[in-house]
Structure 1
């Protein structure tokens, strides 16, 4: 039995007249390419297209392609020149196999972040029920143990997410209504302050400690628990966790909002003003790179959608121009700001009102907080 929807990469790579100016194959493309396990459509497109993020537009221009995910390992792409000199691609159909289809992007690398990060109202997190202790007076909670929670109004059998605040997002400047506002992310020190403040902001890099307008609190979902007995404190059974549970960890309802099962990288129509990288996932303090998750200073309110792909440019350093200042003393006299440098592409995979999360798809250099977003061209 032959597949009728094997045209994805043909739709992805064929150059049609309407896109001839914007989409073209690389000059060094091979005569053929065999799809392999571990490939992604982004990676394949990056091999052959000068602008891989434009492949969805070509796919949309080919209505015969019904399912953009039915390309399988073993499918052969043959590249040649058409009679008019334009690049063309032929896909050789194969007998259906049991191999999994090739995804558009490495979704497995996103899944934990889709489930584990969310942005909440700051007061909501401050007032949330919290872990006050563990069975047998233990200092930490692990799977299978009872945890005791205060301020929880719940019935036996209900399940809750256990979260830990990781960043505070704050806005500076603008008109007070969010227009023209610059958003920064402050890492939260939960180790020393979960039971008191319930967090302390680390703003040593920008001097804005505790200032600015609240945008939201990023929390990481680190576990789940089921209510065994109500009361204050309530007794819950710890069902699962990615870290040891500590006193002061908060509880929030399980996030039942659906998220996309697949993503199609594409260029946005425009870039919102002030779009920048404002925070990293994990415990990264200085820089991050390919296949890592970053928080961006724009969200759904700015028109940001899943799949939108941006270029990241790192602001150029300001250095001393010793020649222009007619001085051989380093660091004195005139200065000059070096040009911004392109460091990679980021694709948005989850959005909130003012903040979104993106996966770094590729990169030439490390990505730092403050990197500005532009159109992928």
Structure 2
């Protein structure tokens, strides 16, 4: 028992030493900081730590912190260098205030997009919009929308969703680390088909119909209330972010699509070939506070709050210096180093795909940018 205790203590000391070495305090940190109402753990950590996503491990190494995810207004952070960086909370009696979350949902909700990844066949069989009041070409708020194949009761509220892209895995039998690749394909403009355009699939695949269907992304674009049952069912459009059109689908409302708050933290491992594969509301590039789709999900150990560094792969260019002067551009080539782009935090996870919010960035994020463990 004594040997086991000594071994456990040694392991704890090594762990604390590793965390301390990995999360250096900034040079301009004060000796103490008193937590104030309105603070968030991410903001405090970004102010004092060079690697703010390591705050849970640092504070967990302090035995007086019962829960490293919770601090309160009035808590005093002791910041000092004693045999290396040390971050601690001064013990006190909780008398007032609510716990300080890392990033409350209220700070992020305006930026998040509600997407769901469903089985493609399920999407095809969902109830769908077939027409509008007075033969309108599009559905607008306050007008009636007619839906087929909907089983619902008067007064029930539903979500209107639009299939936006499909996810397909190519060379999946080889595994992600050995050439497997998951790509996102924009759907045909005619949403009633819920299929990938032939030119998109053949361009990435080389042969139409090849590849493993992972699922279809649908985006929530509005809510409606059932007025009269039947086939078609009459719905009143309550709100929408886009004009509703024929072929949009109907799903039950998800009352809690997001976590109440998020704790950014570094993942323990990185799945192979992890990349950005799609955008929620852009075509070419995105920046801070925009949503991206990642080709990793719950099956890869991804969970909400995990934070990754994004890198732009280095470009391969001809080495004109090493080539002969008469055939420049046709000789040897060199691949430039990858460049840091920014950080992305996962906020919603599905089996094979997850969605993240770009937290910060030095340059635009593009599709196929790589994910790395944060440094």
Change (3 A) 1:125 1:112: farther
Contact 2:185 2:196 in 1 (8 A): no
Residue correspondence of structure 1 range 115-264 to structure 2 within 5 A: 116-175=114-173, 181-190=180-189, 193-196=190-193, 200=197, 203=200, 207-208=204-205, 211-256=210-255, 259-264=258-263
Query: How high is the TM-score relative to the length of structure 2?
Result: 0.82
* 1:357 counterpart SS class: strand
* 2:262 counterpart SS class: coil
- The count of corresponding residues between Structure 1 and Structure 2 is 357
After superposition, the C-alpha distances for 1:210-262 in whole angstroms (9 at most, x for unaligned) are 64221111111001112222221111111221111111111122235664212
Q: Give the drift of 1:78.
A: 6.2
The reply to whether residue 268 of structure 1 matches residue 267 of structure 2 is yes
- Is there any run of 5+ residues in structure 1 with no aligned partner, and where? 1-14
Counterpart CA distance in 2 for 1:320 and 1:106 is 48
Q: Give the drift of 1:34.
A: 6.7
Counterpart CA distance in 2 for 1:178 and 1:235 is 46
Query: How high is the TM-score relative to the length of structure 1?
Result: 0.82
Counterpart CA distance in 1 for 2:253 and 2:327 is 60
Please point out which of 338, 342, 345 is paired with 1:347.
Answer: 345
- Is there any run of 5+ residues in structure 2 with no aligned partner, and where? 1-14
Residue correspondence of structure 1 range 285-300 to structure 2 within 5 A: 285-300=283-298
RMSD: 3.3
Counterpart CA distance in 2 for 1:52 and 1:256 is 31
Contact 1:53 1:266 in 2 (8 A): yes
Contact 2:142 2:237 in 1 (8 A): yes
Counterpart CA distance in 2 for 1:49 and 1:20 is 10
Contact 1:169 1:214 in 2 (8 A): yes
Q: Give the drift of 1:364.
A: 2.2
Contact 1:298 1:355 in 2 (8 A): yes
After superposition, the C-alpha distances for 1:18-55 in whole angstroms (9 at most, x for unaligned) are 63332321223345657678754223212321221111
Aligned to 1:7: none
Counterpart CA distance in 2 for 1:94 and 1:261 is 26
